[in-house]
Structure 1
């Protein structure tokens, strides 16, 4: 009998990525493996890793239904959120992200619209572009920046650089995933290089949610 696989199936690519064919997006590679090997995947949303862009969007849609915009312009989670989903979606981490956003709302750095989109200034701090969202952040890197940041991630996984250097390179993503361990960052570096080296040097985008689940694709 086949095991039932959650719609939030997490594929952690901890091994060597096949490179027999060049792909513009590792998210497509990840999705193919999720679909082809459902019978032997052990899933746990609380083990951060990479998912397909389709599954990443579905996570956001599920949680979006339980967001609330408070009278003071801050964002929160509805009391109607089922307890079972609170665990499945790791909402403790989401609340930490909301605390970060709400502090910027109160200081006047950003404002949150009724559809939970964010009005914000252009990013700064050593990356090409950082965009904050209610669910996490997108970081856009040129080809050369992606290569540099992948190297930093690899060095961090081997304890060759410290936290400040990692966050300096990855900005918001670094803050979300800094404590997720050496295997996580080594795998992220491998995934970044796989997409970055196979897309005609167009650069990459990393979408990362509140719990460190991410999707990587070409600009």
Structure 2
């Protein structure tokens, strides 16, 4: 290898190593910017969410860890409307997704089940419809699941009973059907966290399967 070729090789290696963390940051920034595009923001809460910035850690309402991975999205009570996007599932280090008290519509993306670090999912007081994705049962670190005061239908997925860390579940004031799980963390969830779902039939009876496939 000639001296010139060696210089070019070293230069390309250095440039590649410098670009690597930016590409990682861009992936998270792209996911969040997809959310911004899907939302109406009359109060300009998301004004700092600039797609030209490589790292979203400089945006308001975003918290990152020391490795510049997004760990919190805090957009509760922000007068936002629109819908959630599947790209949110790419935020694999996200621990808190706070979108409560807005006017978000549409369904809960199945891809939120990919948020393997998630501790808190707060979507309460919106106009979210559709079913609760069973894929949320993959969130093994989830502690808080608050989906109350929406327009959700269908059953409470039995997969949620496998999340041993789950402490708070509130699905009150929806239109859910079927039965309420009683195993795992659901042993300690108060029944008033399920109230005002006219088609819920009460707790599961021991030895009987839930109504996961018998209501819609």
Structure 1-normalised TM-score? 0.23
Give 1 or 2: higher strand fraction.
2
TM (normalized to structure 2)? Answer: 0.23
More helix by share: 1
> Which structure's relative contact order is higher, taking Cα pairs within 8 Å and 6+ residues apart?
1
